[in-house]
A and B are shown apart, each in its own frame.
Chain A
Amino acid sequence: MSKETLFSKKNRLLLTDPLDDNNPVTVQVLGICSALAITVQLKPAVVMALSVLFVLSVANVLVSLLRSFIPSRIRIIVQLVVIATLVILVDEVLKAFVYDVSKELSVFVGLIITNCIIMGRLEAFALANTPWKSFLDGLGNAFGYGWILIAVAFFRELLGSGTLFGYPVLEKIGLYELGYENNGMMILPPMALVTVGVIIWIQRMRNEKLIESN
């Protein structure tokens, strides 16, 4: 077997595939749980995406390193322990450095533990692959998750409160003087679901092989 280079074509695919064709949120249907509630504004969404990026890539590497030592019967508990430890780290760091965001995320930091993306990737990928590949897979999936999160948060914050990262964009453009009103509906939970639904719609119109047979 010839040795693969670090960024061979196959490895690059691990990184880019989850962005579109195999997106964790819109195609694999994983990790929606904690994704939607924190997309009212961009800032918590970005923090959440970074936290998941950290937890997912590190957990993938750790489980991949441990994969030959974990008995398959208790693998779920082992994986949960690895994830929970990393999440506790993230939680403490957030509390120390960005306390207001951590308050806003409230229980959703803890819920990264049960974010199915992480569990799903550990089960499906890290248990069967080498650490470097698992790391790339973790990064790729976290980016795939992150861009959906940030896209949803972008539209919800812009249309719902007329700001981006708290900066009043629409007011500066002067839309309000033309009679524009914020759509208060976008801030409410149901519209997050509809926004994701629309993103899925657009993605599948462009990428027809993802269309379900019904």
Chain B
Amino acid sequence: MQDLANIFIKSIFIDNMVFAYFLGMCSYLAISKTVKTSVGMGFAVIFVVSLTVPLNYIIVNFVLNEGALVWLHPDFHDVDLSFLSFIMFIAVIASMVQLVEMIIEKFSPSLYSSLGIFLPLIAVNCAILGASLFMKERAYNSIVEATVFGFGSGVGWFLAIVGIAAIREKIRYSHVPPALRGLGITFIITGLMGIAFMSFMGIKL
């Protein structure tokens, strides 16, 4: 239990997708103009990432890893398909995104129209592929750990985008040097937020 809590806290604050690894920056910068749309995008990411990470965990451990295919036939003990992991991960993610898109379109047309073209872009949101790749690299022990890690990364990304959206809504009323307006100041604020998040470093439960 403590391990799980540790993974959760770590993936939200210390290994934050945006501030520590710069993952998902494209949609982070593009959709963070208002809090409302960024909340929608954040939830979509949490949802997709907590589904795809466990799915990909299963694929890694039962298909791709060396000797993972033994359950099919003992002769497969030296088959190593891990070079296929990129293509498998992205296929799982792309189909999950298609699913989420259809669900949102059905149940919340207003959210669908405000997220607009960015929904398909979740497929190329590096935070999601990144979570799966980190899951593979860090070799979590069980599917529960992997799920907790996926969910935590999603929550971390959600916090980051909602935070920057709130700041950007306020900063519209400030006097920013013309050349820094928009993109430039957003980068610098993200940097400052990253420094703030670094104060969580070393926390252990």
Contact = CB atoms under 8 A, between A and B. Distances in A.
A52 interface: no
B184 A107 contact: no
A37 interface: yes
A50 interface: no
Interface stretch (A5-13, A86-94, A139-147): A86-94
B70 interface: no
Contacts of A77: 91, 94
Contacts, number: 148
B109 interface: no
B194 A32 contact: no
Given A81-B87, A189-B20, A204 B184 contact: yes
Main secondary structure of the interface of A (DSSP, over half): helix
A193 B191 contact: yes
A119 B30 CA distance: 15
B129 A197 contact: no
Contact of A29 (B20, B29, B120, B172): B29
Contact of A33 (B23, B120, B176, B190): B23
B121 A116 contact: yes
A188 interface: yes
Given A211-B179, A214-B181, A111 B23 contact: yes
A87 B22 CA distance: 20
Contact of A36 (B22, B182, B195): B22
Interface residues of B, number: 52
Interface size band for A: 35 or more
Interface of A: 26, 29-37, 76-77, 80-81, 84-85, 87-88, 91-92, 106-107, 110-111, 113-116, 119, 188-194, 196-198, 200-202, 204-205, 208, 211-214
Given A34-B22, A80-B91, A92-B83, 9 more contacts: A29-B29, A35-B22, A80-B123, A116-B26, A189-B20, A200-B179, A201-B184, A211-B179, A214-B176
29 contacts: A29-B29, A32-B29, A33-B25, A35-B22, A76-B123, A80-B124, A88-B87, A92-B83, A106-B137, A107-B130, A110-B85, A113-B90, A114-B128, A119-B124, A189-B19, A189-B21, A190-B19, A190-B194, A190-B198, A193-B190, A194-B187, A194-B188, A197-B188, A197-B191, A201-B177, A204-B180, A204-B184, A205-B179, A214-B172
